[in-house]
């Protein structure tokens, strides 16, 4: 028998979460129309980078079959989606890296972000079989990707010239928010976007999960316009916010990491647990050893007290997580012995965000870091 650890990916949870986001945007559009603002619900790029945030590219593409497009950054993942039969748009969030990539964009009809002069130069030297669609990215304050505001309009004009030459098709505008989940919000970056690019033509794409959930109104398009949101994390049933959990929005975890108890120990007061003896019992204590460690993607920084569910009962991790195992307090589950089921995170466990907070990180990192050695089961 293989080690009793596995991860289950629920395709229906992915589809459910997409529908939640869709409804959230429709409600914002209805509210705006109620105030007399003519507007249109935005389209959704479902972000599936990093193998669908660890859920698998194919599972993610299936779960998001109703999305208007998929967004990612690895060209190989984009090709995988096309070859699996995805016919709707695909957006490359980092664009292309060298001239040879343009043939792949052309052949697989990939929409690209354009964020450097070098990319515009590469496009100027290429003759595609049909015009390529792009989003010209503005650096509105995050200082990661994008043209600086003072360079943006020239870059956009170059893209429009390439459109007249038949190299480019649709030329959109895009930016990315650094603080949509934080007290600062999106106001200052949105102001830079409006001031720099607000009057230019073409589709617009602004919002990640946090901005989509918190400020759905900024993504609404004019009736004759086109707007796209780019949610990622919320579609997997995890939260982009530190203080609001995913369940608050009606989102469901799509990844459930499960294992079993493989050994039981009986500690006396003064007995310690694990490497570094970080936890010491102050009373007699039954502990369980779970077949899951940091080599499976469970965070080593999740210390004593991290929530975990054994046989349906919430308890806590004890001591330091090792490579292949971790220890738990069996006090609340006196009947749980070897073979008892353990939920590390997901549908019947703590949320991935709770485990992440206990480890000083975010749910994104845990989902993406799921190790390749963990067997994946995909369920409807």
Ligand X SMILES: *Cc1c(COP(=O)(O)O)cnc(C)c1O
Is 366 in contact with 352 (CB distance < 8 Å)? yes
- Separation between Cα atoms, residue 131 and residue 112, nearest integer Å: 12
Instruction: For 263, list phi and psi in degrees, rounded to 5.
Output: -160, 155
Task: Give the footprint of ligand X on residues 29-88 (CB under 6 A).
Answer: 47, 49
- If one asks whether residue 231 binds ligand X (CB under 6 A), the answer comes out as yes
- In angstroms, give the least distance from the CB of 144 to ligand X: 8
Which one of residues 69, 203, 232, 253 is an interface residue with ligand X (CB under 6 A)? Answer: 232
- Separation between Cα atoms, residue 249 and residue 245, nearest integer Å: 8
Residue 222 labeled ligand binder: no
Residue 374's CB is within 10 A of a number of other CB atoms, namely 19
- If one asks whether residue 230 binds ligand X (CB under 6 A), the answer comes out as yes
Which one of residues 93, 318, 333, 356 is an interface residue with ligand X (CB under 6 A)? Answer: 93
Residue 224 exposure: Cα atoms within 13 Å on the Cβ side? 1
Q: At 7, which helix (H) or strand (E)?
A: strand 6-10
Residue 144 labeled ligand binder: yes
Q: Pick the closer one to ligand X by CB: 210 or 342.
A: 210
Q: Pick the closer one to ligand X by CB: 317 or 367.
A: 367
Q: Which of 40, 49, 108, 152 is catalytic?
A: 49
Site string for ligand X, 187-216 (x = CB under 6 A): ---------------------xxx------
Q: Pick the closer one to ligand X by CB: 235 or 310.
A: 235
Q: Which of 88, 275, 298, 364 is catalytic?
A: 275
Q: At CA 351, angle to CA 357 and CA 62, rounded to 5?
A: 120
Closest C-alpha to 218, from 200, 234, 230: 230
- Separation between Cα atoms, residue 102 and residue 192, nearest integer Å: 30
Return all residues near 154 (Cβ < 8 A) that are at least 6 apart: none
Site string for ligand X, 240-259 (x = CB under 6 A): x-------------------
Residue numbers in the known binding site for substrate are 144, 323
Which residues are at the interface with ligand X (CB under 6 A)?
A: 47, 49, 93, 176, 208-210, 230-233, 240
Active-site residues, by number, are 49, 275
């Amino acid at each position: 028998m293989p080690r009793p650890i596995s991860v289950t990916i629920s395709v229906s949870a992915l589809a459910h979460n997409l529908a939640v986001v869709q409804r959230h945007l429709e409600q914002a559009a209805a509210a705006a129309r109620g105030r007399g603002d003519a507007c249109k619900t935005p389209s959704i790029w479902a972000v599936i980078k990093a193998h669908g945030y660890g859920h698998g590219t194919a599972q993610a593409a299936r779960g998001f079959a109703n999305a208007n497009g998929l967004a990612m950054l690895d060209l190989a993942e984009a090709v995988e989606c096309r070859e699996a039969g995805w016919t709707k748009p695909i957006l490359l969030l980092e664009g292309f890296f060298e001239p040879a990539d343009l043939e792949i964009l052309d052949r697989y009809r990939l929409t690209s972000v354009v964020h450097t002069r070098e990319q515009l130069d590469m496009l100027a030297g290429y003759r595609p079989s049909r015009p390529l669609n792009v989003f010209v990215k503005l650096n509105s304050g995050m200082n990661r990707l994008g043209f600086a505001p003072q360079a943006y309009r020239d870059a956009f004009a170059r893209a429009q010239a390439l459109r007249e030459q038949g190299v480019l098709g649709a030329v959109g505008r895009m930016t990315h928010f650094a603080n949509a989940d934080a007290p600062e919000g999106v106001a200052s970056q949105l102001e830079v976007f409006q001031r720099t690019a607000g009057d230019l033509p073409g589709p617009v794409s602004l919002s990640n999960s946090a901005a989509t959930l918190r400020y759905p109104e900024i993504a609404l398009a004019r009736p004759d316009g086109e707007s796209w949101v780019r949610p990622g994390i919320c579609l997997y049933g995890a939260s982009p916010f530190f203080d609001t959990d995913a369940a608050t929005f009606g989102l469901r975890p799509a990844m459930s990491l499960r294992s079993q108890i493989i050994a039981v120990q009986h500690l006396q007061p003064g007995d310690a647990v694990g490497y570094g003896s970080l936890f010491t019992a102050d009373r007699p204590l039954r502990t369980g050893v779970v077949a899951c460690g940091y080599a499976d993607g469970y965070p080593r920084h999740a210390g004593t007290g991290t929530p975990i569910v054994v046989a349906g009962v919430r308890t806590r991790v004890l001591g330091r997580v090792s490579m292949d195992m971790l220890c738990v307090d069996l006090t609340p589950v006196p009947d749980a012995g070897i073979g008892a089921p353990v939920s590390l995170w997901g549908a019947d466990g703590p949320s991935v965000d709770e485990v992440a907070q206990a480890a000083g990180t975010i749910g994104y990192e845990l989902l993406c870091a799921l190790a390749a050695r963990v067997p994946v089961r995909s369920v409807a």
